[in-house]
Amino acid sequence: MRRGLLAAGVLVFAAGSVLAAPGETWILPIHHLDGGGWTELPGAGYGGSSAWQGSGADGVRRVYWELSGIGSLGHEPDPNVKTYTIEFYVPTQGAGDWQPIESQLNGVNGEAWPMEPGIPWVGAWGTNHQYIGSEFTAANAGTWKGTGPGPHTPESDDYNAGPNGDRMWLKKGSWLYAKWDFPWPITRSWSALRVTETPEPASMLLLALGGAALLRRKPIA
């Protein structure tokens, strides 16, 4: 009986690994704004919401999004760390200087620096803090636009992946943010983000499929 329960547990793990929702998307409205000096752009954001524009060089001003809610396939984000690609909705009003999107893996609980142990990536230049480029183009107003490359996000799901990739390691409750803490002025309007879980690494899929095949061959006592 004990072996049967153990095998059933392995089967559930294998099925969960195979059936985890790669390709599922979550649309993240702005979670909160820090600092002052914001300009509201009514109706310019995703779904007719307001977009918000910040200007200048201000180390306090930030816009945040949280990885939470129900995704396109009916699931909440995984509480385990996985990789996601990120798109941003291009507001129909406002300016769009280049600005990176950064991660705070543990959300309200912050992130270790310079090496966050929850991110399974060795990182580059002595840190695995992730930030990815976002290029605003007026021609894309009213549509979703992808981010990347890096300059400090992994190019794959491998622990030793190089930088300049197109994804981030995140989990349920992680925060994404854009900041104005630079020595040059930035004028940029923001609305929602759309994040998509990337496919499982091939090694994990093979492990799950191999476990399921083993269970099919071996009778359960």
Q: What is the mean pLDDT of residues 169-189?
A: 96
Q: Is 92 helix (H, G, I), strand (E, B) or coil?
A: coil
Predicted confidence (pLDDT) per residue in 10-31, tens digit: 333 333 444 448 999 999 999 9
What pLDDT is stored for residue 48 in this prediction? 98
What pLDDT is stored for residue 19 in this prediction? 47
pTM (whole model) above 0.95: no
Q: Is residue 130 pLDDT above 60, yes or no?
A: yes
Q: Is residue 102 pLDDT above 90, yes or no?
A: yes
Other Cβ atoms less than 10 A from the Cβ of 38: the count is 17
Q: Is residue 114 pLDDT above 60, yes or no?
A: yes
What pLDDT is stored for residue 200 in this prediction? 63
Q: Buried b vs exposed e over 109-135: b needs ≥16 C-beta within 10 Å?
A: eebeeeebeebbbebbeeebbbbbbbe
What pLDDT is stored for residue 121 in this prediction? 97
| 205 class by beta-carbon count within 10 Å (0-12 exposed, 13-18 middle, 19+ buried) | middle
Predicted confidence (pLDDT) per residue in 137-153, tens digit: 888 999 999 999 989 99
